Structure 1
Amino acid sequence: MGSDKPQQVRAMFARIAHRYDLMNRLMTGGQDLRWRRRAIQRCGLRPGARLLDVGTGTGDLAAEALRQCPGALVVGCDFTLPMMHRGRQKPGRARIRWVAGDALRLPFPDATFDAVVTGFVMRNVADPDQAFREQARVTRPSGRVVCLEAVRPPLRWWLPFYRLYFHRLVPLLGALIAGDEEAYAYLSRSVAGFFTLEELAAAMARAGLRVQEVQTFMGGTVGLIVGVRP
């Protein structure tokens, strides 16, 4: 996207906010809900814990955190206001604290949260290393940073079929359902140009986090990485 990537990403997600959740369910066959549950489980929340969901969008991860730990204080932060406005209209999300903010300059003091989580966010930021540094900064010592992300898949015999689905069928679905083929063509390009799972874990480690756990889903096309702030 070039040097104006943040502005283009913000505009793109604003355009598709009205169909974002539906498209996630359709693209993954509903599996993204299971992955989000697992991501929140790995945050290790306890009653009274503070969780930050960076790039919260419509708040799916934040809502899951409140479902699993009703006593938690959950903050959803995003720089695309139409996404958060859409999320606030959904049932059961009144207790999420919605905050406008940039993933590269989080508007919170150091060591504020017990856990920080992202879901399909890191490949959309202009500087993933800086985003991880910010997540580590606002996490308390011994707190967790959990990253759920689509990654560049390993070489497998089924890779041509994956590319056909992701590069051809997903944009077509985006055109039919969300009315925006280009936004979902960007999705496939963003994954193709992003990290492998190992590279994403290395970026987390460069931010000073100790990588504690790595899981994969959907044949290694989706990864879950858990880091701990020393």
Structure 2
Amino acid sequence: MNLARRTMNHPAFAMIYERAWRPAGFFIATGRTMQADRVDAARTLHLDRAHSVLDIACGPGNFTHYLSEQLAPGGQAVGIDFSVPMLRRARADNAGPHVGYVRGDARRLPFPDGSFDAVCCFGALYLIPDPLTAAQEMIRVLAPGGRIAISTSHRDENWFGRAGTVIGGISGLRLFDLDLFPALFAQAGLVEVEQRVHGLLQYLSATRPE
């Protein structure tokens, strides 16, 4: 297990992750607040029309709980994470009548095909071993007509991008070419593929045809 994944699985880190580490890190990386990211996620995923959403690598569940409150009446949000300490925090701090948490591997999601109206993974694909398999699993469990959204790192074609690749390789963080995920989505038959870049992160969304 690399340094980044060991950190994510540490109980002490789980306590500060969503309260301090993630908000500060994302603002530095993107110039965006967590609240702006959450509102944008709900809009992008069309949660007002969805009855189920899967939040992959949910961490302590702050994002998952927020998404559960944006769903159509009677909807359910499910957060999945590999880290036991993160899930303990999620169940302690972000439980609710329309949200649940499970432990699982993003590369082998324990759900049938087409289970969710919306599937998302924000700020985590660069930590997951074999992230392309994880992205394909996201598409597999997405229902026809459903929406998928991710935010993840990207690599600039300059000295900064090359240096970031080296540093990321040491710590376990990956940087992705900007054309990688749009191509993967298109090859999987997704439509309405949109990509935006905010600082060090790329945001992508797409629809699975009916």
* TM-score tier after normalising by the smaller chain length: 0.7 to 0.9
Aligned letter for 2:134?
A
Matched with 2:26 is 28
Matched with 2:52 is 50
Matched with 2:16 is 19
In the alignment of these two chains, the number of paired residues is 199
Matched with 1:215 is 196
Matched with 2:128 is 125
1:129 touches 1:207 (CA, 8 Å); kept in 2? no
Percent identity, aligned pairs only, is: 27
Which SS does the other structure have where 1:224 is aligned?
Answer: strand
1:54 touches 1:76 (CA, 8 Å); kept in 2? yes
Distance 1:225 1:137, change over 3 A: same
Q: Which moved more, 1:26-35 or 1:15-24?
A: 26-35
Q: Structure 1: state its 5+ residue gaps.
A: 168-184
1:36 touches 1:119 (CA, 8 Å); kept in 2? no
Matched with 2:81 is 78
Distance 1:186 1:33, change over 3 A: farther
Distance 1:190 1:31, change over 3 A: farther
2:119 touches 2:148 (CA, 8 Å); kept in 1? yes
Aligned letter for 2:45?
C
CA distance in 2, matches of 1:33, 1:52: 19
Distance 1:147 1:203, change over 3 A: same
Scaled by the length of structure 2, what TM-score is found?
A: 0.80
Write out aligned runs for 1:200-211 (5 A). Answer: 200-211=181-192
Matched with 2:67 is 65
Deviations 1:129-152 (CA, angstroms, capped at 9, x unpaired): 211211111111121111112322
Distance 1:153 1:86, change over 3 A: farther
| 1:213, distance to aligned residue in structure 2 (A) | 1.3
CA distance in 1, matches of 2:158, 2:145: 35
1:201 touches 1:211 (CA, 8 Å); kept in 2? no
Deviations 1:86-107 (CA, angstroms, capped at 9, x unpaired): 1222256464210111101000
Matched with 1:180 is none
More helix per residue: 1
Q: Structure 2: state its 5+ residue gaps.
A: none
CA distance in 1, matches of 2:115, 2:123: 23
| 1:155, distance to aligned residue in structure 2 (A) | 4.5
